[in-house]
Amino acid sequence: MNTVGMSLRALRVRGWVTILTLTSLALSVALPCAILRIRKQIEHALLQEGDSIDLVVGAKGSPLQLVLSTVHHLDMPTGNIPWRMVEEFKQDPRITQILPVGLGDNIAGFRIVGTDDHLQTWTHRDQRPLVSLAEGEWFSQDFEAVMGAEAAKRTGLNIGDRFVGSHGLIEAPGTAHDEFPYIVTGILEPKGDGTDSLVFTTIESVWKVHEEEQNVHNRMFGSGQQAANTELEITAVWLRLRSPGLRMWMREEINTRTEAMAAAPLDELHRLAKNLIRPAQDGLMAMAAAVIAVSVIAILSTLLQASQSRRKDWALLRILGAHPRELFWMVWLESFWMSLGSLLLGLLLAHAGIAAAQSLTDLSCLRGLEAWAFAQGEGWVLLIVFLFGTFSGLLPAMSSYRNSPLEERL
- pLDDT tens for residues 353-382? 888 877 666 555 555 567 777 777 888 888
Structure confidence at residue 309 as a pLDDT band (50, 70, 90) = low
Q: 146 to each of 101, 179, 208, how far by Cα in Å? A: 15, 19, 18
Mean pLDDT value across residues 263-268: 91
Q: 87 to each of 67, 71, 91, 143, 291, how far by Cα in Å? A: 21, 21, 7, 23, 58
d(CA 44, CA 27): 26
pTM to 2 decimals?
0.74
Query: For residue 188, what pLDDT is reported?
Result: 95
d(CA 184, CA 168): 20
Query: For residue 315, what pLDDT is reported?
Result: 61
Mean pLDDT value across residues 266-274: 85
Query: For residue 363, what pLDDT is reported?
Result: 55
Residue among 234, 249, 272 nearest 67 (CA): 272
User: Which residues does 223 contact at the CB level (< 8 Å), separation at least 6?
Assistant: 217
Query: For residue 361, what pLDDT is reported?
Result: 62
Query: For residue 410, what pLDDT is reported?
Result: 44
Look at residue 393 and tell me whether its pLDDT is greater than 80: no
d(CA 391, CA 241): 57
- Tell me what percent of the chain is helix, strand and coil, each rounded to the nearest 5: 55, 20, 25
Q: Are 169 and 103 in contact (CB under 8 A)?
A: yes
Average pLDDT of the chain to the nearest whole number: 82
User: Which residues does 220 contact at the CB level (< 8 Å), separation at least 6?
Assistant: none
